Amino acid sequence: MSDAAGPGAGSSTAAAELDARDELAHRRKDFVLDDGTVYLDGNSLGALPRSVPARLAEVVEQEWGRLRIRSWSESGWWSAPERIGDRIAPLVGAGEGQIVVGDSTSVNVFKAVVGAVRIARGEDAEHGVGPSPAARGSGGRDEILVDAATFPTDGYIARSAARMTGATVRAVPVSGMGAAAGANTAAVLVNHVDYRTGELHDLRSLTADVHRAGGRVVWDVCHSAGALPVELDAYEADFAVGCTYKFLNGGPGAPAFLYVRRELQPRFDTPLPGWTSHADPFAMSDGYVPAEGAVRGRVGTPDILSMLALEESLKVWEGVAVSAVRAKSLALTDFFLQQLHAYVPDGRAGRLRLRSLTPEAHERRGSQISLLCETEGHDGTDVAEELMARLHERGIVGDFRRPGVLRFGFTPLYTSFGDADRAAKVLAELVHARGDG
């Protein structure tokens, strides 16, 4: 399908015009990208910021290689988890002193869910061990609600947290979570953006509903941090957990972050008390006394190499407004869908149909487009896997999820409208070849 003929003719000109007006276009040069590749998998692993290799070399050669142990104080290693947390804070609508960086997303989800249950029951650090009279009178708040479509690990962690706290887990569709929260609800674990469909959930209203029921909310913001406004403080989120290797571009296995709302920090009783979250870590005392503030979200020795790579990566956000990122994200995903619809009318090609699982409404859309492959009598999984493999061969990098879902992540700091147009064209060519063949 050429640029000059067929459905979507002139689309390259339209893409070029949009790119010329893009206020974030200059940020693309800050990333390591191949000219021949359209990278639409930043919702799984963000691209490498160009300044990171030199910074890592400095850390290895100078801070580790020459200063060695002195770098914990002289190079600021010890304070990195909180310092980097404060860099992330404005990207998720949080004030300083409420985010600590370290450990994996899964570990932080565990800390947050157990901490939320303990606070809801009054079994928290401020009130001491054992449920408060209010908690006993309400049946002990023995239920954890989880997003029925959650990323599998979140469900695994929630069930483990339930076993530790004597609670039960109930899976509920996000649309019904507010109504499902009641007198027995201790904690609710929910994804801000559905990893599979790209649907954006209403953080503000759900948090308010759960609070009215007396429960606490843990938000998984892995697919929204760095892609759209999150507003943790404004909407009074209790806890939030996010990874940093997706839209924040921190690198593979980069440490996650944990947000604990300031008012709840004195009550946060972590299930993983470690020496670096002790009020006096170098006293090496037998008894655990938690530090004040977000520091109590730490556990063990910080993972310095990946943490400092993340810190350098976050410099690409200097001077960038999250509102501008959101505006471009919506424009990119609109344009991609518009072009795809032009090339594949009604999403149909012979026996193959593509159907968007991502809501059209902007207020319900994250920064990805998920397309369900459907074929006559099949769920489309094999077709989706084949199409994604062919896309990779043609230089279009996305991913797929069973059953039959093609996922394309749009990272506004480096994705161009030309990228979106090229991806739509190549996908359309492959769909027509597969469906009409």
Tell me if 342 sits within 8 A of 6, measured CB to CB: no
Residue 279 in tokens: 């009020």
Let me know if 220 is a catalytic residue. yes
355 is catalytic: no
CA distance from start to end of the chain: 16
Which amino acid is residue 275, in one-letter code?
W
Let me know how many helices (H) and strands (E) the chain has, helices first.
13, 16
In the chain, the amino acid numbered 272 is: L
Torsions phi, psi of 232, nearest 5?
-65, -45
| Bridge partners for 407 per DSSP | 370, 399
Catalytic residue among 216, 246, 296, 365: 246
Distance CA 143, CA 217 (A): 12
CA gap 109, 115 in Å, rounded: 10
Query: Is 407 labeled as catalytic in the residue annotation?
Result: yes
CB 42 within 8 A of CB 411: yes
Residue ranges in 188-292 assigned as alpha helix (H)? 203-212
Active site residue 41: no
For the chain, give percent helix, strand, coil, nearest 5.
45, 15, 40
Q: Clarify whether 151 is annotated catalytic.
A: yes
Q: By CB neighbour count within 10 A (0-12 exposed, 13-18 middle, 19+ buried), where does 326 fall? A: middle
Angle at 310 between CA 415 and CA 227, to 5 degrees: 35
Contacts of residue 252, defined as CB under 8 A and 6 or more positions apart, other chains included, come to: 45, 245
Cβ-contact 369, 356 below 8 angstroms: yes
Q: What is the residue whose two structure tokens read 């079994």?
A: 123
Instruction: Give the single-character DSSP code of 365.
Output: B
Out of 28, 407, 422, 425, the active site residue is: 407
Of 151, 257, 343, 414, the active-site residue reads 151
Report, as residue numbers or ranges, the catalytic residues: 151, 220, 245-246, 407
